[in-house]
Structure 1
Amino acid sequence: MRYTMFGHTGHRVSSLGFGAMNLPGVPFEQAKAALNYALDEGINYIDTAAGYRNSEEIIGESISHRRSEFFLATKTKNRDYASAMEDMERSLKRMKTDVIDLVQIHYVNTVQEFKAAMNEGGAYEAALEMKRKGYIRFIGITGHRPELLAKWIAKRQFDQVLFHLNLAQPFSLDELIPEATRLNMGKTAMKPLSGGFIQPVSKAMRYPYSQDVHVVLSGMVSVEEVKENLAAIREEVGDDERRELEALAAELGNHNCRRCNYCTCPLEIKIPDVMISSQIRKTLGLLPKGDEFYQINKDKILSCADYEPCKDKPLCEQQCPYHLPMRQMVMEAANAYDKQLTTR
C-alpha cells in the first residue's frame, strides 16, 4: 500500500480509501467484515456522510473500537449553521467517536450554494466552531464542478477537496488538482468506476491511482471488493501504462459531462448517467451495474424521442452550464436498444 502525507494535515493516508456510502445496502455483518478487513490490510481512510442513510451507525458499530487506526471523514449537505451543527453533533454520536478528522461541506455545485455555506450563519461557520472546540480537525469541500472548486479553494479556507476522477471524468486534472497541489491541500478522488459503469475494475482503479492525488475513494461493500481494489493498485503505474490510460481517458471523456446534475428531466431520465456511460459502453462495455441501469431505465430513455415539449428545444439542454447535446446522446442510447434486438 502506498501512503502519502495528506496535504498540510500531518496525516499519512493510504492510497486506497474506503467509501462507505453503499454499506447500508448490504447486510450488517457483511459491511462489518468489509470495514475490518480493509483496516487489517492497511486502508486507513474511511469516508461517509450524514446523509448516507445509516452508514455512520454502521461505522460506529463496526470499527469504533479501532478508532486510532484510521482517518475518519464525513460530510454535511446542509448550508446553514444550525442544521450543519446538528449533523456534526449527530455524526460524533453515530460513529462513537470524540473527534472527526475531516468534515466536508458536501455537494456544492453552484455559486449560490457556496455563498450560503460560507456566509455568516452558514455551515462553514459551524464547522469552524466545532474545529475550535476540538470536535473536528479539518474542513473540506466536495462538488461536481471542478472549475468552480478550483476557484473556491483558492481562498485558502479548506484543508481538503473531494472530486470526481475516473477514465470517463478526467476534468479535475485541468485546474482543480494543480490548484489543490499548489495550496498543499488533501486531494481525494472519488467515483473511480464512475458509479459502477467502468470495467475492468483493475484498469478503472489504476487511472486515478496514476494521478497526483492522495486517496482514491472506492465504494466497497464486501471483503471481495476490498481484495479486488487492493489488487488493482498493488503495483505502481509505469510511464507507458500512464500514457495509455490518459489516452483512454481523453477518449472516454468526450461526453464532457461533469455530473453537476443541473439537468432535471421531466421524464426522470438520469441524463448524467446516460452521458457519462455513452462512450464507456461503446469502448469498454459496462459493468453489470451499468447494464442494469439501462435495463431499468429502458422505457424512460425510449420515451424521450416522443416527448413533445423537448422536440424543438430540449429542456435539459437549457439548464446545462456546458451546453452539451444531451438529447442527441439520449437518442443514441435509445438506438442501442434496437441494435441489441437486431443482433440477437
Structure 2
Amino acid sequence: MAKRPRVEERRHPMATKNQLGRREFLKAATRLTATAAVCQGLAPASARGSASARPLGAIPVRTLGKTGLDLPILGYGGAALPRKWANPLSHEDRVALVRYAYDQGLRYFDTSPVYMESEAILGEALKDRRRQVCLVTKVESTRPEDVRKLVEQSLKALQTDHLDILLIHGTPGLEQMSVPQAMKVHAELLKLRDEKVTRFVGLSAHGYFDKALALIASGGFDMCMLSYGYIPRGDNQIWTAHLTTLRDACLAKAHELGMGIVAMKVLGAGMLGAWSGHIVPGFDKQRLSQLPAAAIHHVLQDPRVHVLNIGMRLTEEIDANIKIISGDTTFTPEDRDVLAQFSAQLYDTDSIKRLRIEGVSATDIWTAAREGNLDEVKRSLAAGTAVNAREPQGGATPLNISAVFGQAKVAAFLIKQGADVSIANNDGNTALHLASFFAYPDLVELLLKNGASVDVKNASNESPLDLVSADWSTELEGVYTSIAQAIGIQINLPRVREARPNVATLLREQKAK
C-alpha cells in the first residue's frame, strides 16, 4: 500500500509536529485508519472522474516549512471555482468537484473573498472534513481596522471557526499598499493568530517583489505564496528580468527563514494548461499535451517549494495533474524544449501583449477610471481587482479617480458594483470632495443619491461645501492651475467657474434636508 502522509491525533485541527511532543506525535502517527480516504460516491456525472478514491500517499508529501504541516504537494486553487472565471459546472457539481479533489488526496485548499462564491463552495464541500485539510484564505483590505470583520465574513462562508493559514492577499492587497501599511495589516493577523482564529499567517505576491521581500525579511510570517512558473507572470503582468531577480530573492530569504513556500501561476494562469490551444492555436497538438507536465516539472525541480497551488475546474484536470505529480517529475531536456518552443510563439500573441510590464499598466483600473474606459474597468474587476482598491501613490479608489475626471458612467458602474462612496484618499478627500472641487454637478448628484455625506471633513478640516463656497477670483483660478500642474492634468477653467455655483447649491440643499 502506498505510503500515506502523516496524520496526527489532534489537540487542535491540523496539529503539527511543532505543536505535539515527539513521543505524542509518533504515537498519533500510528493511529491511522485504513478507511480514511474512502470514496464518498460523488453523484453528479458531470463532476465525476474516476470512480474510486486514490490511496492517500500517491501524491508526494512535503513539509510546509516551519508550519510543520505535512501536505501533498498538489494544492487546490479556489480561483478555479467562480462561474465568472470560466468554471462551467453548476453549484452542486463544483461542491462535488472539491470533494473529489479531497478524495483523490489533495489537502491544501486555497481561496479568497475576491474569488466570489469560492469560499462558500469550499465551506460546503469540506465542512465534514475540516480537520483533515489545510484551509487557506486571504484578506484584501489595506485598512487594519477592517481585517477582523473581513475574516469573520470568511469564516462564516467557509463554515468553520478557524483557519489554518491567513494571508495578506497580493492583488488586491499588498500591491496597493506600502510596506508600513502592510505591516499594520500584518499586526492584525498576528492578533488573530494569538487568538487561534488562524494557526499561521503569510502573504501572497504576484509581482511587486520588492515589497514582498521586505515583508518576508521581517521574519514575522510563517509562509508565503509566490508566482513561480516558466512564464514569468503574475496576476496581469509580465515581469522584467529585474522583477524575476527580486522574486528569486524572495524565495531565497523565505527558505533561509524556514518559511513554508507555495508556488502559484505554475501553469501561467492557464497559458501552459487549459487555455494553451486557444492562445496559440497553430501549435502541434501532441506537443500541447506535454506542456502541463513540463511546466510542473520546471517548478518541482526546486526543492524549496513545498506545495503547488493550481486551479482545476474539472475532475479531468485534477486527474491529469495528479498523474503528473505522482510520476517521474524530472525536468528533462524535452520539457525544456517544448516550453521554449511554445513560449516563442506565445510572446507574439495578444494574450501576452495586453499584459502589463512589471506592474505598470496603461489599463489598470485607476487609469481606466481616469480615461472613462468602462470596458477596461469591467475587465479589471473580472480579473480580481477589488472595486475599492487603492492606488499606491495617493490611496485613491477607482471611484475617487472617476470623480476627479468627471467620469460619471464609470462612477455609476462602480457604485453598482459596491464601491464605497465614503472612502477617502490619503488627503482625506472622498469622492464627493473631489467631484465638488472639480465641479461636476452630475457626479455630485449621483454620489449624494448613493449616501455620500456632505458633512465629512478632509485632512484640512474642509467639507465638500467648503471647497466650492468661495466666489470665483484670480487667486482661486491660480489654485486650480497649480493643482492641474502638480498632478499633470488639464482643467477647463470656464467650465469649473460656471459649474461651481450649481455644485454648491446641490450641497446646501442636501445639508438642509
* TM-score, normalization by structure 2: 0.48
Tell me: CA distance 1:112–1:28, structure 2 relative to 1, closer, same or farther (3 Å).
closer
* SS of match in other structure, 2:67: coil
1:204-242 alpha-carbon deviations (Å, 9 max, x no partner): 222222223111111112211111111221223236459
More relative contact order, 1 or 2 (CA 8 Å, 6+ apart): 1
Structure 1 vs Structure 2: percent identity of aligned residues? Answer: 26
Which residue number corresponds to residue 208 of structure 1?
A: 299
Which residue number corresponds to residue 93 of structure 1?
A: 156
Which residue number corresponds to residue 139 of structure 1?
A: 201
Match of 1:262 among 360, 367, 391: 360
* SS of match in other structure, 1:98: coil
Q: CA RMSD in A?
A: 3.0
**Contact conserved, 1:20 with 1:55, CA < 8 A, in 2?**
yes
1:125-161 alpha-carbon deviations (Å, 9 max, x no partner): 2211111111101110111223432232011011111
**Contact conserved, 1:169 with 1:258, CA < 8 A, in 2?**
no
Which residue number corresponds to residue 126 of structure 1?
A: 188
Query: What one-letter code is carried by the residue in structure 2 that aligns with 1:134?
Result: K
**Contact conserved, 2:295 with 2:339, CA < 8 A, in 1?**
no
Distance 2:216 2:337 in 1: 28
Distance 2:150 2:325 in 1: 34
Is 1:226 aligned to 2:318, yes or no? yes
Query: What one-letter code is carried by the residue in structure 1 that aligns with 2:141?
Result: N
Which residue number corresponds to residue 283 of structure 1?
A: none
* SS of match in other structure, 1:115: helix
Tell me: CA distance 1:133–1:260, structure 2 relative to 1, closer, same or farther (3 Å).
farther
Is 1:104 aligned to 2:167, yes or no? yes
Distance 1:116 1:109 in 2: 9
Distance 1:243 1:175 in 2: 25
Which residue number corresponds to residue 213 of structure 2?
A: 150
**Contact conserved, 1:19 with 1:46, CA < 8 A, in 2?**
yes
Is 1:114 aligned to 2:179, yes or no? yes
Distance 2:192 2:334 in 1: 41
CA displacement at 1:247 relative to structure 2? 8.2
Which residue number corresponds to residue 340 of structure 1?
A: none
Tell me: CA distance 1:79–1:54, structure 2 relative to 1, closer, same or farther (3 Å).
same
Tell me: CA distance 1:99–1:237, structure 2 relative to 1, closer, same or farther (3 Å).
same
CA displacement at 1:264 relative to structure 2? 3.3
Query: What one-letter code is carried by the residue in structure 2 that aligns with 1:193?
Result: L
**Contact conserved, 1:166 with 1:208, CA < 8 A, in 2?**
yes
1:172-215 alpha-carbon deviations (Å, 9 max, x no partner): 76312111111110101111221121143222222222223111
Which residue number corresponds to residue 288 of structure 1?
A: none
CA displacement at 1:6 relative to structure 2? 0.5
| Structure 2 counterparts to residues 1-344 of structure 1, below 5 A | 1-25=59-83, 26-107=89-170, 108-110=173-175, 112-119=177-184, 123-145=185-207, 146-169=209-232, 171=244, 174-198=248-272, 199=276, 200-211=291-302, 212-238=304-330, 240-241=332-333, 244=336, 248=340, 261-265=359-363
Distance 1:242 1:3 in 2: 26
**Contact conserved, 1:30 with 1:222, CA < 8 A, in 2?**
no
Alignment size in residue pairs:
268
Tell me: CA distance 1:203–1:9, structure 2 relative to 1, closer, same or farther (3 Å).
same
Which residue number corresponds to residue 30 of structure 2?
A: none
Distance 1:30 1:203 in 2: 29
1:83-142 alpha-carbon deviations (Å, 9 max, x no partner): 2111111111111112100000011555843322313xxx22221111111110111011
Tell me: CA distance 1:30–1:182, structure 2 relative to 1, closer, same or farther (3 Å).
same
Distance 1:91 1:206 in 2: 34
Tell me: CA distance 1:193–1:225, structure 2 relative to 1, closer, same or farther (3 Å).
same
* SS of match in other structure, 1:58: helix
Query: What one-letter code is carried by the residue in structure 2 that aligns with 1:6?
Result: L
Q: Which structure: larger Rg?
A: 2
Query: What one-letter code is carried by the residue in structure 1 that aligns with 2:182?
Result: A
* SS of match in other structure, 1:8: helix
* SS of match in other structure, 1:175: helix
Tell me: CA distance 1:132–1:61, structure 2 relative to 1, closer, same or farther (3 Å).
same
Task: Answer with 80-89 or 169-178: which moved more.
Answer: 169-178
Distance 2:253 2:265 in 1: 20
**Contact conserved, 1:76 with 1:87, CA < 8 A, in 2?**
yes
**Contact conserved, 1:207 with 1:246, CA < 8 A, in 2?**
no
Which residue number corresponds to residue 477 of structure 2?
A: none
Distance 2:149 2:261 in 1: 26
CA displacement at 1:82 relative to structure 2? 2.4
